[in-house]
Amino acid sequence: MTDPEILKDIVLSHYKQPKNKQNLAKSDNVFRAKNPNCGDLYAFAIESDAGMLNITHDTQGCAAAVASSSILTEMLNGLSSEGALKFVRSFRDTFLNGRPLPEDTSVELEALHFFKQSPARVLCVDIAWETVENALVRPS
């Protein structure tokens, strides 16, 4: 178990300087979602080059929403569609169903698990993963 202060710092750094974030106004294949509780907006553009995914996002929201979107892109970029889908399903299964974290879990994913302490914030993290899961199972 990593020191909670380190996990907080990871979330904050992804929130303040999110990775793979850009304006998606001109992108094709954008998948959007809205958190019904607070109105936060999630957006992901999914491209594939030589079988490898390149996901960018433009999520506007709280630290959990932005950090989750940022970490998601870091975890999935470079994977195949099938590999990414497997990764997303595995993360959601652990995150939503309260299963213990596997030993080899990256510290970034562990940081997202930090939000499980507050049931209301679980959704903030999960919407990003749910949106991308739905996008990956849907043929574009």
Partner 1 sequence: MEDIHQRISEIRSDFPFFSQEGKFKDWVYLDTAATSQKPNRVINAELEFYQQFNANIHRGLYEISEAATAAYEKAREQISEFLGSQDSDEIIFTRGATESINLIAQSWGGLNLQEGDEILVTNLEHHANIVPWQMVSAKTDAQLNVIPIDDQGNLDMQYAMDAIRGGKVKCMALVHVSNALGVTVEVAPLIQAAKEQGIFVLIDGSQAVTHFPVNVTKLGCDAYVFSGHKIFGPTGIGILWAKRKVLEEIPPYQGGGDMIRSVDFEGTTYAEIPAKFEAGTPHIAGAVALGEAIEYVNEVGFDAIATIDQWLFGRAAEIVESIDGLKRIGNTLDQVGVVSFYSDQIHPSDLATFLSTDKIAVRTGHHCAEPLMKRLGIPGTVRVSLGIYNNAEDLDRLEKSLRSAVTFLS
- Check binding of 64 to partner 1 (CB under 8 A): yes
* Contact region with partner 1 (CB under 8 A), list: 36-44, 49-57, 71-79, 130-138: 36-44
Interface with partner 1 (CB under 8 A), residue from 81, 121, 125, 133: 121
Q: Nearest approach, Cβ of 78 to partner 1 (angstroms)?
A: 30
Q: How far apart are CA 18 and CA 20, in angstroms?
A: 7
Give the per-residue contact string, 76-115, with partner 1 (x = CB under 8 A; - = no): ----------------------------------------
Residue found by looking up tokens 């993290």 in the block: 125
Per-position DSSP letters for 47-88, written without gaps between them: EEETTEEEEEE--BS-HHHHHHHHHHHHHHTTS-HHHHHHHH
How many residues sit close enough to partner 1 to count as binding (CB under 8 A)? 13
| The amino acid at 2 | T
Q: Pick the closer one to partner 1 by CB: 118 or 140.
A: 118
- Residue 31: phi, psi to the nearest 5? -115, 125
